[in-house]
Amino acid sequence: MTDLLVVGAGTMGRGIAQVAAAAGYTVHLVDATAELADAGRARIAAGLHDGVHRGKLSESDRAATLARIHPSVDLAAAAAGIAVAIEAVPERLELKREVFAHLERDAPASALLASNTSSLSITELQRGLRSPERVLGLHFFNPVPVSPLVEVVRGADTGEHAIARGLELVARLSKQAVVVKDSPGFATSRLGVLLGLEAMRMVEEGVASVADIDRAMELGYRHPMGPLRLSDLVGLDVRLDIARELYRKLGREQFRPPAILERLVAEGRLGRKTGAGFYDWPDAVPEPAAVLEARTPRRGGRALDAPPGGPSGPFSPEPA
Ligand SMILES: NC(=O)c1ccc[n+]([C@@H]2O[C@H](COP(=O)([O-])OP(=O)(O)OC[C@H]3O[C@@H](n4cnc5c(N)ncnc54)[C@H](O)[C@@H]3O)[C@@H](O)[C@H]2O)c1
């Protein structure tokens, strides 16, 4: 069986669907409405088209990859006959538990069931399921097609067989795996989010401009992308959800979401996906387009605290 189900056709679901289809899986891409599922596939199509245009992909690979992606709104029908399901719905425990309950009911008993959660407990997701041993975390990174890492997360009830199958899947998708114990934020989000939150507090305190804080980490620490630009790319709403979860779980002040993050999300400035966040993203294009280009991230435009140059004063948002 080579059918793979992706639940959620957002930023991550689209990327996972694309790499799975490129690796030869027949992919069922499910979202809450037919429009969203179709839009997800259309955005993948646009990205693949862009890839051909840039010479990164052959026309025949584009067509074959796209032909393997089937959008759907019917989770039960899409789950029948799959070998693997990966959910990439928003970071809310109850929503994900609901999705897993459906998957357990509708997917074959042999199917591997995975969550792309960044911060929720796999063990909590397993609770109440009849076959928790086949549930694990497969934490992909954004943008999925060019990010080499997948964290394979072992929940309290995850079976060895599921871990072995997860590792096999990761290899088939041409990614590299690290196996981590189920703990808040796993090995990556805990450190990555912390850096982003501290950078936001530095913006609030006027320590340096948005662009200079990013440049400091890019040039001083050789990070490929500064923490604020990365937060814009991930999505500020996603970052906020994760920060809240880590704060709740770890109870440490450094994970308390900064006011600036709460405010930007409340204003709908979610980063690149809405065209503005800590930076303006005037040339924001469907994410799949970005994933096929070189690893150098697409540069955003004006930073939140522009004009560029010296450190800004205390944070004062410009009108969006
Ligand atoms: N954005 C990132 O950089 C990133 C990185 C790694 C992991 N993650 C994790 O991946 C998951 C998804 O994040 P995202 O950024 O892709 O979110 P997103 O908001 O871009 O996409 C979520 C999608 O799920 C759909 N959805 C909501 N309810 C649904 C339902 N009941 N059935 C089917 N689809 C439903 C939404 O309509 C939306 O299209 C989250 O758990 C997040 O923490 C995100």
Domain ranges of the chain: 3-181, 189-295
Higher confidence at residue 9 or residue 118? 9
The mean pLDDT of 250-258, rounded to a whole number, is 96
The predicted model scores a pTM of 0.84
Element (H, E) at 259: helix 259-266
What does the pLDDT look like over 39-48, one tens digit per residue? 999 999 999 9
Give residue for tokens 């450094």: 254
CA of 140 from ligand 1 middle (Å) equals: 12
CA of 223 from ligand 1 middle (Å) equals: 26
At residue 313, the pLDDT reads 29
Residues belonging to the chain: 320
d(CA 182, CA 252): 18
Taking residue 140's Cβ as centre, other Cβ atoms within 10 Å add up to 24
At residue 99, the pLDDT reads 98
Q: What percent of the chain has pLDDT over 90?
A: 84
Which residue's CA is the nearest one to ligand 1's atom 21?
A: 10
Q: CB–CB of 92/117 below 8 Å?
A: no
What does the pLDDT look like over 60-110, one tens digit per residue? 999 999 999 999 999 999 999 999 999 999 989 999 999 999 999 999 999
d(CA 80, CA 103): 9
CA of 147 from ligand 1 middle (Å) equals: 17
Q: Does pLDDT of 309 surpass 50?
A: no
Mutate to test the pocket of ligand 1, among 19, 31, 124 (most ligand atoms within 8 A of CB): 31
At residue 292, the pLDDT reads 32
Taking residue 59's Cβ as centre, other Cβ atoms within 10 Å add up to 10
Q: Closest ligand 1 atom, CA of 98?
A: 31
Confidence of residue 318 (pLDDT cuts 50, 70, 90): very low
At residue 284, the pLDDT reads 73
CA of 199 from ligand 1 middle (Å) equals: 24
Measured CA to CA in angstroms, residue 181 lies from 128, 137, 158, 170, 192 at distances of: 20, 10, 10, 17, 17
Q: Would you say domain 189-295 falls under CATH 3.30.360.10?
A: no
Confidence of residue 301 (pLDDT cuts 50, 70, 90): low
Q: Does pLDDT of 53 surpass 70?
A: yes
At residue 220, the pLDDT reads 98
Of the options 3.40.50.720, 3.30.450.20, 3.30.300.30, 3.30.420.40, the CATH number for the domain spanning 3-181:
3.40.50.720
Confidence of residue 311 (pLDDT cuts 50, 70, 90): very low
Q: Does pLDDT of 297 surpass 90?
A: no
Show the beta-strand stretches assigned E in the chain. 3-7, 26-30, 69-72, 84-87, 112-115, 135-140, 149-154, 176-181
Q: Does pLDDT of 308 surpass 90?
A: no
Tally the C-alpha atoms within 13 A of residue 3's C-alpha that lie toward its C-beta. Answer: 14
What does the pLDDT look like over 169-218, one tens digit per residue? 999 999 999 999 999 999 998 999 999 999 999 999 999 999 999 999 99
Q: Does pLDDT of 300 surpass 90?
A: no
Q: Which amino acid is at 15?
A: G
The mean pLDDT of 252-276, rounded to a whole number, is 96
CA of 19 from ligand 1 middle (Å) equals: 16
Mutate to test the pocket of ligand 1, among 118, 122, 244 (most ligand atoms within 8 A of CB): 118
CA of 89 from ligand 1 middle (Å) equals: 4
**Ligand 1 pocket: which residues have CB below 6 Å?**
7-13, 30-32, 36, 88-91, 95, 116-118, 139-142, 234-235, 238
At residue 119, the pLDDT reads 84
CA of 54 from ligand 1 middle (Å) equals: 28
Mutate to test the pocket of ligand 1, among 38, 150, 238, 239 (most ligand atoms within 8 A of CB): 238
Q: CB–CB of 262/251 below 8 Å?
A: no
The mean pLDDT of 122-135, rounded to a whole number, is 97
d(CA 48, CA 176): 23
Q: List CB contacts of 63: < 8 A, sequence separation 6 or more.
A: none
d(CA 114, CA 104): 11
Mutate to test the pocket of ligand 1, among 12, 99, 144, 245 (most ligand atoms within 8 A of CB): 12
Q: CB–CB of 281/271 below 8 Å?
A: yes
Which residue's CA is the nearest one to ligand 1's atom 36?
A: 8
CA of 270 from ligand 1 middle (Å) equals: 14
Q: Does pLDDT of 280 surpass 60?
A: yes
CA of 155 from ligand 1 middle (Å) equals: 20
Average pLDDT, the chain: 90
Structure tokens at 241: 């959800």
Beta-strand pair 149-154/176-181? parallel
Higher confidence at residue 304 or residue 99? 99
d(CA 315, CA 320): 14
Cα-based angle 62, 68, 72 (whole degrees, multiple of 5): 125
